[in-house]
Amino acid sequence: MKKLLFILLLLLSCSQAGGQLLWKVSGNGCYEESYLFGTLHLETSEFIDSVPGLASAIENVDVIFGELEGDDMLSMNTMLQMMKEATAPADSTLDKLLSPEDYKIVDDVIKKYMFGFGLKELGVLKPAVLTLYLEMMQMQKLYPKSLDPNNLIDVAIQKRGKQLGKRVEGLEGVEDQTSALFGIPLTEQAEDLVDFCRKDQEFADSSSQLRDAYRAQDLSAIEKIVFDPEMGMDEESMDRMSYNRNRKWMEKITQTLPVQRVLVAVGAAHLVGEQGLIELLRSRGYTVEPVSGR
């Protein structure tokens, strides 16, 4: 199984995306022009004003759809629910899933990033949760501002919209996200965690390259990083993490397009590929084209 790298960052196929992050949606009975924007979930709010047309899109739409509504993302109830879903069953903790050699490899890397905490303290968590924590710790080391929950781009877009009086909603609930993140068998999660720890520096280098490519709005470069044979996503993972969710989101998006101007701001993986939002909208008769101005 290919690795679940960059789950919180970006899962991307960009054969049709060119170099753009912001796309205009029109035609087929649209109320007026609407937009799709691909985010990098650990990017900071400052990036908004560097994307041509994004600030204007936020100002001119009526409703903003994110993956989750911002208040839900940061609420205590969400945190508690996520922690409940993050805990492994008592008979499937990492001391039971890993060999002694792999246990030590993972333990050493966790202690490196988590200030001395290791599997003794964190081994009750599901392997996918630990992989996500390690990814975030790598990003924090590379970009110290990237983990400020009040400064992330997805939250900031919604916050700016609310300040302008826009309606802001999530396309899914916390349960949907936890299912996508932690829904694979624990044995596969453990394999991914061990691989991540064995290739710690390689993944850190790729995270840095990914952030640079995103900031350059170079989706071709992102594609090469994310779909590297050693670190990419397989079809099953793309279905679970992106395409299945896209199909569910389309109902809410297409119901709103005829009556209000919409900005859909979600992880860039959801925009592209044969079952990405761009192609799903085109298949229903909408015109979807990159916003000019670069």
pLDDT tens digits, 63-114:
999 998 876 655 656 666 677 778 899 899 999 999 999 999 999 999 998 8
CB-neighbour burial class of residue 83 (10 A; exposed 0-12, middle 13-18, buried 19+): exposed
**Res. 269 pLDDT band, cuts 50 70 90:** confident
Q: Which residue has the higher pLDDT, 240 or 225?
A: 240
Which of 111, 119, 138 shows the shortest CA–CA distance to 202?
138
pTM: 0.84
Q: For CA atoms 236, 284, 254, 269, give the dihedral sign.
A: positive
Q: Is residue 99 packed enough to be buried (19+ CB in 10 Å), middle (13-18) or exposed (0-12)?
A: exposed
Question: What is the distance between the alpha carbons of residues 266 and 74, in angstroms, rounded to a whole number?
Answer: 16
Average predicted confidence (pLDDT) for the chain: 83
